């Protein structure tokens, strides 16, 4: 019994001594089983850890392979793995097809690390010569092989040996994350009484990581109305109100929103001449955005009646702030205003809903009056 215990301890010590690890950091190299090309020893275990720079992967290929064959490679084997997964396990001889052997197919690591372990059990009934393998670092084409879409380029991807970089289409700026393309949209000022405002690239997906700021600035007395159009598509969340992308509308001290999702907000009558529209997008999503048409109206002025022997242009049923009309008289008459005669007279609807002046009268000119009197005398 004591002899058996001593033998067990000695065998365990020898087994532990035969297992060792080799660290490799070169861009290429050569790996062989212990004793190659002679037969490899029993109870042997060697691990080669290969590390290459980021941006590269490792290509392993075998020039010779001759190991003991066993079911599921339970005796002798070569195991190729990464930090968290086994890529493949080989055993057997190249001339047989009972177990998986490398053949001519190379093994590629998904990243910059690969671990190769050779293991032989306590006995070999035949002489097996082991393996002869080579490895090399190969460039990763991140533009075509990147699996994580969250880390891919928004617009253009450019691959180089050992890495890649992103660039953007004309009119876009590369974000500080060096992959997202954003737009500069913070100085948009609208001063016309009607207009259309959209998210960038509408109706195509709006850019990521952008802060857009639009201002409608009109003269005091106007009131802006906003109408969201049918297409409204801003990234949303089923449980939290607009945590990713959103649009807000600021009217004076009041903030409306945030708005997001697929249902457009109802029309908004701001009752103000200054309106600010803020649009925020985060670094993900492919939503189409939004489109707003706006119209500004002011206080309504009273209806007008043209003077006797005169006319108003344009003559319409309603007049609002800033509308202007021109008063003129029929042939033989002049516009009379404040004891002065003129051909035409213009008035304007003011912001308080009053006209800038009363309607003038039309007075027959002195020449026409004299000619009419002379005509009457001749007739008598």
Beta bridge mates, 45: 19, 119
146 SS3 class: coil
pLDDT at 148: 64
In this prediction the pTM is: 0.59
Residue spans per domain, the chain: 15-139, 143-174, 184-298, 301-379
The total number of residues written for the chain in this structure:
380
Domain 15-139 matches domain 184-298 at the CATH topology level: yes
- Distance separating alpha carbons of residues 166 and 157, to the nearest angstrom: 5
Q: Look at residue 7 and tell me whether its pLDDT is greater than 50.
A: no
Handedness of CA 87, 90, 94, 95 (dihedral sign): negative
Residue 348 has which token pair?
């304007």
Mean of pLDDT values over 360-379: 68
As its CATH architecture, domain 301-379 has Ribbon (2.10)
- Other beta carbons within 10 angstroms of residue 196's beta carbon come to 12
Does domain 184-298 fall under CATH 3.40.50.300? My reply is no
Check residue 97 and report its DSSP letter: -
Distances 24 to 47, 49, 114, 275, 315 between C-alpha atoms, Å: 10, 6, 10, 65, 92
Q: How many CA atoms lie within 13 A of 89 on its CB side?
A: 13
For residue 197, pLDDT over 80 is answered with: yes
Give the count of beta carbons closer than 10 Å to the beta carbon of residue 354: 11
The CA distance from 265 to 225, in Å, is 13
Of 104-108, 330-334, 364-368, the poorest mean pLDDT is in: 364-368
Alpha carbon distance 198, 316 (integer Å) = 33
Measured between alpha carbons, how far is 124 from 121 in angstroms, rounded to an integer?
8
Average pLDDT value for residue range 283-309: 93
Paired tokens of 358: 């009363």
Tokens 């000022």 sit on residue: 189
CATH level 2 (architecture), domain 15-139? Sandwich (2.60)
Residue 9 has pLDDT above 60, yes or no: no
Which residues neighbour 222 within 8 Å (Cβ) at sequence distance 6 or greater? 193, 273, 296, 297, 298, 321, 322
Q: Which of 210, 219, 154 is nearest to 186 (CA)?
A: 210
């Amino acid at each position: 019994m004591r002899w058996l215990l001593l033998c067990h301890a000695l065998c365990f010590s020898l087994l532990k001594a035969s297992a060792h690890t080799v660290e490799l950091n070169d861009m290429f190299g050569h790996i062989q089983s212990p004793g190659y090309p002679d037969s490899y020893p029993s109870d042997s275990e060697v691990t080669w850890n290969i590390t290459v720079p980021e941006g590269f992967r490792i290509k392993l290929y075998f020039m010779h392979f001759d190991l003991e064959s066993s079911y599921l490679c339970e005796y002798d084997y070569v195991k190729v793995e990464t930090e968290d997964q086994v890529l493949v396990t080989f055993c057997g001889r190249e001339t047989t097809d009972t177990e998986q052997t490398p053949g001519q197919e190379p093994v590629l690591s998904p990243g910059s690390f690969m671990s190769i372990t050779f293991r032989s059990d306590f006995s070999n009934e035949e002489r097996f010569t082991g393996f002869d393998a080579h490895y090399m670092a190969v460039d990763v084409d991140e533009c075509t092989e990147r699996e994580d879409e969250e880390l891919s380029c928004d617009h253009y991807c450019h691959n180089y040996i050992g890495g890649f970089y992103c660039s953007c289409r004309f009119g876009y700026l590369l974000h500080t994350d060096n992959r997202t393309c954003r737009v500069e949209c913070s100085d948009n000022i609208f001063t016309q009484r009607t207009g259309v405002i959209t998210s960038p690239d509408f109706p195509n997906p709006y850019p990521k990581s952008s802060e857009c700021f639009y201002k409608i600035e009109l003269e005091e007395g106007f009131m802006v109305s906003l109408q969201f159009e049918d297409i409204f598509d801003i990234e949303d969340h089923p449980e939290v109100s607009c945590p990713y992308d959103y649009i807000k509308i600021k009217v004076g001290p009041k903030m409306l929103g945030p708005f997001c999702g697929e249902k457009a907000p109802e029309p908004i009558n701001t009752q103000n001449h200054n309106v600010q529209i803020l649009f925020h997008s985060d670094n993900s999503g492919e939503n189409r955005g939004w489109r707003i048409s706006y119209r500004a109206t002011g206080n309504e002025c009273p209806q007008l009646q043209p003077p006797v022997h005169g006319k108003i242009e344009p003559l319409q049923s309603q007049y609002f702030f800033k509308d202007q009309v021109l008063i003129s008289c029929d042939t033989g008459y002049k516009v009379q205003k404040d004891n002065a005669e003129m051909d035409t007279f213009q008035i304007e609807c003011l912001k308080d809903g009053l006209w800038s002046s009363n309607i003038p009268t039309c007075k027959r000119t002195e020449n026409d009056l004299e000619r009419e009197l002379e005509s009457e005398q001749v007739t008598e």
